[in-house]
Structure 1
Amino acid sequence: MRPFAFPAACTAACTAALLAAIPAAAWAWGNHTPMCYRAFERMPEVAGAAPVKAEPLADFLRAQEGAIAKVLDAQEAWAREHLKHHAARPEALRWVASPGASDAERRAAFLKAARLSPQSRLALYLQLDPREPESGRPALDAVAVSSAPPSKGGTQRFVALQAGQAVSPLAVLASACDEPDYGHDLNLFDDNPGHPAYGFGKQPFGNPAVAVGSQAPFHMGFFHQGPVFNTLAPSFARTFTELRVQHYSALAVLAWQTGHAYWGWRFAGMALHHVEDLTQPYHASAAPGASLGTMMWVNLKAQLGAPADRQGLVVLQGNRHFVLEQFQTRWILESARQRRDGPLEVALRDLAQDGRYPPWSPSYVREVVAAQAHAAGPETDAAVVVGAPARFVSDPNFDFAANEAQLGPELARDLQSQRDGLHRVIADLLGHFGAHSRNALRGMLRQVSQPVR
């Protein structure tokens, strides 16, 4: 018997419908930094590491431009061989050592070769541990650190570092774990406004006209939706999380190997951000609260002229994602300010979980992290629906994201009597967040002893 094949016209129509129906929220866990302080503060490899000196990016690029060229070429070759849907880097972007270049020219060339937004700041900064007393240092304006539009409910607070200033690896690592959300991946696709011609093609999902949504394909991974979904919506397989993890990891290893420890910890944190994003079920599932049949049904109705249910699905999935993120972020920050340990802090620090997973490898992101988060999707979505006020998570006419700043305190208050179920689910997810982050970091550190190529 011949296998069933979807007619090409049907596949194209269904793909377009699914693309419109699935939300692409920009952030997975809100602010990663407070969680990373807890996840790494008792990991011996981090807690016992010697302070490092803050170093401008230009110094690292100038000192190691030949080695960086080799690393970026090796990573591109690896991606072309191992990532099925990789968008090959245009030859014009290739990093070439240019000893006579200025620091500004070298920096711009690096951003092109790494295919990061030309507006990426990569400034010297820290996010301080919210558990520690105020440092007394003046705040650094967010625009010095991030080119991304400010989030209405953002909790990031920055201070400046000076070149040569001693700083703990924990602070560098935890700060950098949030950094890829600061505009590194905005407007990089061919149909985004002002795109830099990086060869990524058209944006595979999300709205290409919305800047923040354009970063979603670099922070999500729909690797386990199944063959029917993949046939109907093949573009959802085009995600670039694995590429970012590999690039940042390789740069971290090079920096450690060549005496640039500050950038070793910093690039490691950036790699970990993309690993951590995929521990969020709403970033590893197209719509964890809806079956494929439901998505197809609402899309069919939309094609027949009744789009309300499809739009409602988008709003509900987005609302639940935002509610989960708000609850988790506020809970973490409140506990930190009170120097209080609760289930989330215990879960984030639980080193006993680390050994339950296979050793770190290039396939770990897809086959371990994303697979686990995808499997947790239905339970997570159900816990949010049961644990949060109905108007926030069950009313398709209510857009939580549009009212995030005003409704955050109300959400926290209304959840007080209903949060036990969410506690358990979020604690489980953050246990995964901590374990996978540490396993990824160990994988990078193991490579440091290998000879520089």
Structure 2
Amino acid sequence: MRHFLFLLAWLPTFAQAWGNHSPMCYRAFERMPEVASAAAVKAELLVDFLRDQEAAIARTLDAQEAWAREHLKGHAPRPDALRFVADARRSDADRRAAFLRALRLSPHSKLALYLQVDPRDPDASRPPLDVVQVSAVPNSKGATQRFVTLQPGDAVTPLAVLASACDEPDYGHDLNLFDDNPGAPSNPSYGFGKQPFGNPAVAIGSQAPFHMGFFHQGAIFNTLAPSFARTFTELRVQQYGGLAVLAWQTGHAYWGWRFAGLALHHVEDLTQPYHASAAPGATLGHMMWVNLKAQLGAPADRQGLVVLQSNRHFVLEQFQTRWIIDAARKRQDGPLETALRDAARDARYPPWSPAYVRDVVAAEAFAAGPATDAAVVIGAPAKFVTDPNFDFAANESQLGPALARDMQGQRDSLQARIAELLGHFGAHSRNVLRGLLKQVDSPATR
């Protein structure tokens, strides 16, 4: 098992899967009848929903925790001291803090009123909103998120609420929640124990176990690296999804769409092969070989493997994000947009169920890993994806233009591979949303 301990340092830079989810979600949902035809909703502060439905929220969160303890493999039970208990006498601030503790989200989570504008149709009527009002994580130099102000009572389309929220869990919700993270919640702790993989000292990497799912690595890998099986993506989908259903049922439609978007983010992350596989470009035998060499005093190949996997993930994310954003700003459609909207794909998959995240989404992305990794190697500039001495993440903002300019001759192959992955992204997003909407009228959820 010691031979696989190096994997614990692999994933801090992999915490984000698709860069900015919102532009893709605008395309994935803009022609879905359940979204496009839905009536406008009125923006509402979170504390108003919490105050109005405090008892129902308490029951929902308790039921979710009971379900998770029974059904989720590797679940870390929520400490009883974190239960959300209805208390009409407390302040709105205390009620909000108790809600975050019960969900085991970062106490720094903003959950503010905002919209992320569609780059295809930016809304110039609303004032811009600084990122610090929306996110606990500062924007990187190459960030594409653009926020605008939303006031309580403002009428807004469900599409805009949903697409905006699809990117939101990357805004600091899952940072520093483990016992060995700097600034981890305490008195009581959140109960997640020590961080199962990634460097616990790197803040952005601490969210990785909530945005990845290594469910299909195989028995040998799981024996050698059992901590990799401890991921909490399924928990987040169930938490946010259940709150969405409750909000819709109780007349808080804005928060129905908002919580639905939060749930979808974690599903969409697992459509990214680098989030469903520890190393899509390496066999188990190769990983074991480079570890053995490192144990014998030659760590260069091991470190090179780590760097290359990180670089390829970043290149895929940069290529996809820039392509989507550029096409949106030019109001152009191409293969990526077509794939995101392709509702004919939806019926290829079974209906939504709690097993869908693991057995459908993650399984498909894991299987797509080797072909995706190969397409990145063929399509991207060689220095970005084959040189283990080059760190793409450290030079991300400077290298974006170079990546767009210097794509190799097989960029069409890479685009086709990304289009296939975004087809998965769109179909799974719609299928999960349909599943949540069906629960709204189900007697079992009332």
TM-score, normalisation: structure 2: 0.97
CA offset at residue 417 of structure 1? 4.4
Tell me which residue corresponds to 2:47: 58
Tell me which residue corresponds to 1:243: 235
Matches within 5 A, 1:272-283: 272-283=264-275
- Structure 1: segments with no counterpart, 5+ residues: 1-10
Q: Is the 8 A contact 1:18 1:296 kept in 2?
A: no
Q: Is the 8 A contact 2:244 2:258 kept in 1?
A: yes
Task: Identify which of 21, 34, 39 aligns with 1:32.
Answer: 21
Matches within 5 A, 1:50-449: 50-196=39-185, 197-415=189-407, 417-449=409-441
CA offset at residue 297 of structure 1? 1.1
Q: Is the 8 A contact 2:128 2:149 kept in 1?
A: yes
1:121 maps to amino acid: K
How far apart are the structure 1 equivalents of 2:340 and 2:365?
A: 16
What does the per-residue CA deviation read over 1:275-301, in whole Å, with 9 as the maximum and x for residues that have no partner?
A: 000000000000000011111111112
CA RMSD, Structure 1 to Structure 2 (Å): 1.1
How far apart are the structure 2 equivalents of 1:303 and 1:142?
A: 44
Quick one: percent identity of the two aligned structures?
Answer: 79
1:57 maps to amino acid: L
What does the per-residue CA deviation read over 1:170-202, in whole Å, with 9 as the maximum and x for residues that have no partner?
A: 000000000000000000001000101100000
What does the per-residue CA deviation read over 1:46-91, in whole Å, with 9 as the maximum and x for residues that have no partner?
A: 0000000000000000000000000000000010000120000001
Tell me which residue corresponds to 1:6: none
Q: Secondary structure at the match of 2:14?
A: coil
How far apart are the structure 2 equivalents of 1:416 and 1:320?
A: 14
How far apart are the structure 1 equivalents of 2:238 and 2:278?
A: 23
CA offset at residue 153 of structure 1? 2.0
How far apart are the structure 1 equivalents of 2:351 and 2:339?
A: 20
How far apart are the structure 2 equivalents of 1:16 and 1:149?
A: 30
The alpha-carbon distance between structure 1 residues 76 and 30, as it changes in their structure 2 partners (threshold 3 A), is same
Q: Is the 8 A contact 1:177 1:269 kept in 2?
A: yes
The alpha-carbon distance between structure 1 residues 350 and 96, as it changes in their structure 2 partners (threshold 3 A), is same
Q: Is the 8 A contact 1:21 1:299 kept in 2?
A: no
How far apart are the structure 2 equivalents of 1:122 and 1:63?
A: 17
1:390 maps to amino acid: A
2:150 maps to amino acid: L
- Structure 2: segments with no counterpart, 5+ residues: none
Q: Secondary structure at the match of 2:17?
A: coil
Q: Is the 8 A contact 1:252 1:263 kept in 2?
A: yes
How far apart are the structure 2 equivalents of 1:46 and 1:80?
A: 33
Q: Is the 8 A contact 2:12 2:204 kept in 1?
A: no
How far apart are the structure 2 equivalents of 1:450 and 1:198?
A: 32
How far apart are the structure 2 equivalents of 1:66 and 1:22?
A: 39
What does the per-residue CA deviation read over 1:271-328, in whole Å, with 9 as the maximum and x for residues that have no partner?
A: 0000000000000000000011111111112222222111111110010000000000
How far apart are the structure 2 equivalents of 1:57 and 1:168?
A: 18
The alpha-carbon distance between structure 1 residues 441 and 21, as it changes in their structure 2 partners (threshold 3 A), is closer
2:197 maps to amino acid: F
CA offset at residue 22 of structure 1? 5.7
Q: Secondary structure at the match of 1:159?
A: strand
| Residue correspondences, number | 442
CA offset at residue 430 of structure 1? 0.2
What does the per-residue CA deviation read over 1:87-132, in whole Å, with 9 as the maximum and x for residues that have no partner?
A: 0000110000010110100000000000000000000000011101
TM-score, normalisation: structure 1: 0.96
CA offset at residue 133 of structure 1? 4.2
1:173 maps to amino acid: L
